[in-house]
Amino acid sequence: MENALFEYLLRLGDDSLILGHRLSEWCGHGPVLEEDIALTNLSLDLIGQATSIFDYAGKVEGKGRSEDDLAFLRFDKDYRNLLLVERPNVDFGVTIMRQFLFDAYRKPLFERLVHSSDEMIAAIAAKSLKETKYHLRHSSEWVIRLGDGTEESHNRIQDALNELWKYAAEIFYEDAVDAELKANGVLPDMDSLKSDWDTIVHAVLEEATLTIPDNNWKQEGGRKGLHTEHLGFILAELQYMQRAYPNMEW
């Protein structure tokens, strides 16, 4: 596999970038000012993670691409994020459920990556883990609040769960990239990742009085560059300046 590490970094970085983008769409429109600030905080953390990851990815690739080149100047098929994170915000319920399903994966993921044989990944994971712990606490609390709030909020957050469940399955997509990185210790001890995620998700959903959907279909594609229709519009905004005014400093 040619440059499995680069490919893996794109998966990690694109998840952060695209979810960070989605959350930034909330800025100025949150349900209360406190949540406006909280969602922007999440976005800032994720954009920061993407920056460090792409910076390193550019070095690993060795073609002289900067973090901005990787963030702004690829075509849709070259983005490797989960379909989950490009799903539209819709309302606060969908946004929070999307965040929760993602945080419940990223926290145990970073807990493992801090032991990576790759020192840069270990360092990025250590910093990101601190942030992600807070993110998970925030999204878990809101899932519980909305699930165990009013009838309307319960229905909305249950609908969000039903809607997003099949996308969550892609979190555990694996291919030759993972196999190679596991073999050389870049990805240590990934076997129990899914069961950690299950434990977190079940505990929170139970407290939130929500029901896990019985739909077991896995909607995959993002990790291979096959996206939903939404990514094109995200990129149209994200890349606008870099495409309209190429090769300029900002």
Partner 1 sequence: MKEFNIDELNRKFQEKIDNDIKIEPKDWMPDDYRQTLIRQISQHAHSEVVGMLPEGNWITRAPNLRRKAVLLAKVQDEAGHGLYLYSAVETLGADREQTIDDLHSGKAKYSSIFNYPTLTWADMGAVGWLVDGAAIMNQVPLCRCSYGPYARAMVRVCKEESFHQRQGFEIMMKLAAGTPEQKAMAQDALNRFWWPALMMFGPNDAESKHTQQSMDWKIKRHTNDELRQQMVDITVPQAEMIGLTIPDPDLKWNEETGHYEYGEIDWDEFWQVVKGNGPCNKDRIDARRKAKEDGLWVRQAANAHAEKRRARNAKKAS
- Residues in contact with partner 1 by CB under 8 A are 21, 24-25, 27-37, 40-41, 43-44, 47-48, 50-51, 54, 67-68, 71-72, 91-93, 144-146, 148-150, 152-153, 156, 237-238, 240-242, 245, 248-250
In whole angstroms, the minimum distance from the beta carbon of 30 to partner 1 comes to 7
The contacts of residue 24 (CB under 8 Å, 6+ apart) are 40, 43, 47
Question: Between 25 and 196, whose beta carbon lies closer to partner 1?
Answer: 25
Question: Between 35 and 61, whose beta carbon lies closer to partner 1?
Answer: 35
Instruction: Specify the 3-state DSSP secondary structure of 190.
Output: coil
Question: How many CA atoms, within 13 angstroms, populate the side-chain half-sphere of residue 182?
Answer: 9
CA distances from 3 to 57, 59, 66 (A): 10, 12, 17
Per the CB < 8 A criterion, the answer to whether 225 and 78 are in contact is yes
In whole angstroms, the minimum distance from the beta carbon of 132 to partner 1 comes to 17
Per the CB < 8 A criterion, the answer to whether 67 and 136 are in contact is no
Question: Between 50 and 186, whose beta carbon lies closer to partner 1?
Answer: 50
In whole angstroms, the minimum distance from the beta carbon of 154 to partner 1 comes to 8
In whole angstroms, the minimum distance from the beta carbon of 145 to partner 1 comes to 4
Question: Between 29 and 130, whose beta carbon lies closer to partner 1?
Answer: 29
Question: Between 30 and 188, whose beta carbon lies closer to partner 1?
Answer: 30
Question: Between 13 and 222, whose beta carbon lies closer to partner 1?
Answer: 13
Per the CB < 8 A criterion, the answer to whether 26 and 89 are in contact is yes
DSSP H/E element including 71: helix 67-72
In whole angstroms, the minimum distance from the beta carbon of 142 to partner 1 comes to 9
User: What six digits make up the tokens of 163?
Assistant: 């809607």
In whole angstroms, the minimum distance from the beta carbon of 9 to partner 1 comes to 15
Measured CA to CA, the distance from residue 239 to residue 203 in angstroms comes to: 39
Measured CA to CA, the distance from residue 105 to residue 120 in angstroms comes to: 20
Measured CA to CA, the distance from residue 112 to residue 29 in angstroms comes to: 35
